[in-house]
Structure 1
Amino acid sequence: MLVALAAPTPALADSVRDQQWHLGFMHVTEAQRISQGEGVLVAVADTGVAATVPELAGAVVPGKDFGGNTGDGTRDPAGHGTAMATLIAGHGRGTGKGVLGIAPRATILPIQLSPDFVFAMGYARDVAAAIDYAVSKGAKVICLSIGSGDADIVRTAITKALAADVVVVAAAGNKPDVGSVDFPAKVPGVVAVGAVDRNGDRAAISVAGPELTLVAPGVDITAVDAEGRTRIGTGTSDANALVVGAVALIRAKYPQLKGPEVVRRLTETAQDKGEPGKDPVYGYGVIDLVKALTADITPAPTSASPSPPAATGAGGGRTAAVLAAISAAVVVMVLIAVLQIIIRSRRRRP
């Protein structure tokens, strides 16, 4: 998802951390006292992730390049994927310095796609392959701060990822590039993320639509590019990366939770905005990290156990018929036994 960028500046000490206004807005310090994403593998399907960036030192494992080159995804010619990774798992450059991510102890699995964001069928095929690869490597959450163009092959990959208990988070899209929630964010089951500004109001660049799930800060977000320089971005890509980091925090704190319950923690605790309840502008609301990690969430109601499926195929009908006949015979035998008891009882009366 393309973003509006300010000119990169040298990553100088404390001023960089001070520029990250979203850290205070999201109460990240308090949240990280509870969880820091330990043990959670986060797949970033983007333009690659520069593993040499100090903020990501030791946090990036070898991945794969689906962008037409041979490699492990740890190079980033565009810088976009590296920025997303630092927003997710950046651990700074020492105490209080450099860019800090939401889940600084999470691990990044870099998956490189075309840096030109070419939305042709070939690109969609690469996105689908990237999702399948992330699942095969054990990723617990996939960051898709991209748009791929609607394609069945991507839908199928997402469906398989969700079935494998992977949380898929995607940027909703930026105006004027798109006018409604973009693909793959609009795929059912995907967490579609929009952006808000410093006041918590909808960012001018953020699209709206019924598929929107959550919103997070996405205006003037400070991250790091592939050259290690600070980069200030505005767009749903940045907001999306912050939500991905939140998922990593929850999956580390509650490893027993399945993907849908992880998402439910985010939606149930979000700060409601706009119309009451879920709406097309804010989704369920503005993400609240601390509540998502600490709130007492009532488990989702489970449906009644489904009836066993009817036997099918050769012999299936005969089996069902035999079982029905046996059941009927048992009922008749019970009735006969009851009648015999009643008759005997009446004969014994004086």
Structure 2
Amino acid sequence: MAAAVAVLTMTVPQTLGGTSVANAAPPAGACHDAAPARAQVRAHPWAQQVLAPERAWPHSRGAGVLVAVVDSGVDADHPQLRRPGKVRAGRDFYLSGGHPGAFDCVSHGTGVAGIIAADPLPGIGFRGVAPDAEILPVRVSDRDLGDQGEQLRIDPQVVANGVRYAADQGAKVINLSLAGFDDFAVIRDAVAYAVSRDALVVAAAGNGQRDATIAFPSYPASYDGVLGVGAVDINGARMTGSQIGSYVDLVAPGAKVLTVARVDGHAYVDGTSFATPFVAGTAALVRAAWPRLSAPEVARRLIATAAPSRGGNGSAAYGHGLVDPYRAVTDGLDTRAPDVLPAHAPRPPDQARLDRAASEESIAETARWCTVAVVGALALALLMALVVPRGKRRRWRAGRARAVPVEPRIIEPPEQVFLISGR
């Protein structure tokens, strides 16, 4: 086996209350220690409340878009994933023997697929972002933890084979919920191959952040053409451990988010592994609504329509903001043809109405001048009533104004020179 690749950013899902039902039935000997089923959770999860992808469903539900989940496999028997045509057979690259990828031992890949495309069920609050998208399960790992609780590593050649297979199968979105510090040429080349086939690759930023001062590398999130995804909590703050770097393009819910578990039920999980499928599902909605957009154009659309986050645009911790399924689908979307305006046909003038208006205007003008004449005559009569009697009393002699009193002339005393004796 070749040198190890980046550690999968998996978080073992919490066990929910209730009694577990029977385990899934993967191929004999395929699972080291298969995870049990979980109890169903009926509550509406916070991540679905925040993103509200159902607002975009009248315009797009992801139909016709194939999303590859390169992960631990996908349990196609889960009630929210078992609809015919929902999950393809896929392929298992971890085990030899030509097994399909439509089984899961640890629920990680199943949880990722559920966030992307789980069908709504009556009485269940959880549902996927793009419920009509198809899932292509590509199995590249078996367990997330070893017998001693250590994180297990994945053969980089296996990951590369899975990515190339997904691209060859026509996947328009490839979800990589795995991350590591090392740059492996085989994975880099496989990602470049998928990008050249117009697949939008969405990868987790990783969970290895120790503090907010040091930026660690992350692959495959750092590769050209890849959308890197960080995780936030219910308050919109960066999840503890979500890595910081220029490779973070977007953030999505990743702390205590609900998803499906293998066989049945749901589990609460943490990590950028589970933030990534929220972006991948949104990409499926966009590719269904805007089929002519290329993968780079879809990526730019997701970035341009992201909701502002705490870090501001282009932040190393938050990227360009929180993914917004509704805006990503609907901004600028108007499928209706423009309305045809009726031809302008001016109506002939109503001559009788025009004549009537002209007559009314003439009468009003005459009334205004008559009013001015009457007011002027009254003013003249009032003036005559005041002036004529006064003139008769004076016999029409001109009056004399009173003489203006002459002020006495002030004589200034002559200037004098005062002599001061020296005594």
Say whether the fold is shared (TM-score over 0.5).
yes
The answer to whether residue 208 in structure 2 is matched with residue 208 in structure 1 is no
Amino acid paired to 1:271: A
Q: CA 1:225–1:181 in 2, change beyond 3 Å: closer, same or farther?
A: farther
Partner of 2:171: 139
TM-score normalised according to structure 1 size: 0.79
Q: CA 1:142–1:279 in 2, change beyond 3 Å: closer, same or farther?
A: same
Are the equivalent residues in 2 in contact too, given 1:17–1:100 (CA < 8 A)? Answer: no
Counterpart Cα distance in 1 of 2:317 and 2:179: 19
Partner of 1:260: 296
Instruction: Quote how far apart the aligned CAs of 1:175 are.
Output: 3.0
Partner of 1:112: 139
Amino acid paired to 1:119: R
Partner of 2:31: none
Partner of 2:10: 2
Amino acid paired to 2:140: L
Structure 1 counterpart SS, 2:174: strand
Counterpart Cα distance in 2 of 1:257 and 1:96: 36
Partner of 1:16: 42
Structure 1 counterpart SS, 2:135: strand
Partner of 1:97: 124
Structure 2 counterpart SS, 1:3: coil
The answer to whether residue 62 in structure 2 is matched with residue 37 in structure 1 is yes
Aligned length: 292
Out of 219-228 and 141-150, give the one that drifted further.
141-150
Matched residues, percent identical? 37
Q: Which of 41, 64, 81 in structure 1 is aligned with 2:91?
A: 64
Q: Which of 248, 252, 260 in structure 2 is aligned with 1:224?
A: 260
Counterpart Cα distance in 2 of 1:39 and 1:17: 29
Counterpart Cα distance in 2 of 1:168 and 1:109: 14
Q: CA 1:111–1:268 in 2, change beyond 3 Å: closer, same or farther?
A: same
Q: CA 1:226–1:236 in 2, change beyond 3 Å: closer, same or farther?
A: same
Q: Which of 190, 204, 221 in structure 2 is aligned with 1:171?
A: 204
Counterpart Cα distance in 2 of 1:274 and 1:85: 28
CA deviations 1:177-207 (Å, max 9, x no partner) are 8962521111121100001111212112311
Instruction: Quote how far apart the aligned CAs of 1:102 are.
Output: 0.3
CA deviations 1:281-308 (Å, max 9, x no partner) are 11111111111111139xxxxxxxxxxx
1:73-88 correspondence runs (5 A): 73-88=101-116
Instruction: Quote how far apart the aligned CAs of 1:159 are.
Output: 0.6
Amino acid paired to 2:153: F
Are the equivalent residues in 1 in contact too, given 2:239–2:254 (CA < 8 A)? Answer: yes
Q: CA 1:8–1:280 in 2, change beyond 3 Å: closer, same or farther?
A: same
Structure with higher helix content: 1
Counterpart Cα distance in 1 of 2:311 and 2:118: 35
Q: CA 1:2–1:177 in 2, change beyond 3 Å: closer, same or farther?
A: farther
Structure 1 counterpart SS, 2:15: coil
Are the equivalent residues in 2 in contact too, given 1:119–1:147 (CA < 8 A)? Answer: no
Instruction: Quote how far apart the aligned CAs of 1:176 are.
Output: 5.1
Q: CA 1:22–1:276 in 2, change beyond 3 Å: closer, same or farther?
A: closer
Q: CA 1:98–1:186 in 2, change beyond 3 Å: closer, same or farther?
A: same
Are the equivalent residues in 1 in contact too, given 2:210–2:241 (CA < 8 A)? Answer: no
Structure 1 counterpart SS, 2:80: helix
Counterpart Cα distance in 2 of 1:292 and 1:192: 17
Amino acid paired to 2:307: Q
Instruction: Quote how far apart the aligned CAs of 1:6 are.
Output: 1.6
Q: Which structure is larger by alpha-carbon Rg, 1 or 2?
A: 2
Counterpart Cα distance in 1 of 2:312 and 2:228: 19
Counterpart Cα distance in 2 of 1:181 and 1:85: 26
Counterpart Cα distance in 1 of 2:200 and 2:122: 31
CA deviations 1:184-234 (Å, max 9, x no partner) are 111121100001111212112311111111000111111111131311001
Are the equivalent residues in 2 in contact too, given 1:16–1:222 (CA < 8 A)? Answer: no
Out of 193-202 and 110-119, give the one that drifted further.
110-119
RMSD over aligned CA atoms reads 2.0
Instruction: Quote how far apart the aligned CAs of 1:31 are.
Output: 1.8
Partner of 1:127: 159
Are the equivalent residues in 2 in contact too, given 1:246–1:289 (CA < 8 A)? Answer: yes
Runs of 4+ in 1 over 6 A off after TM superposition: none
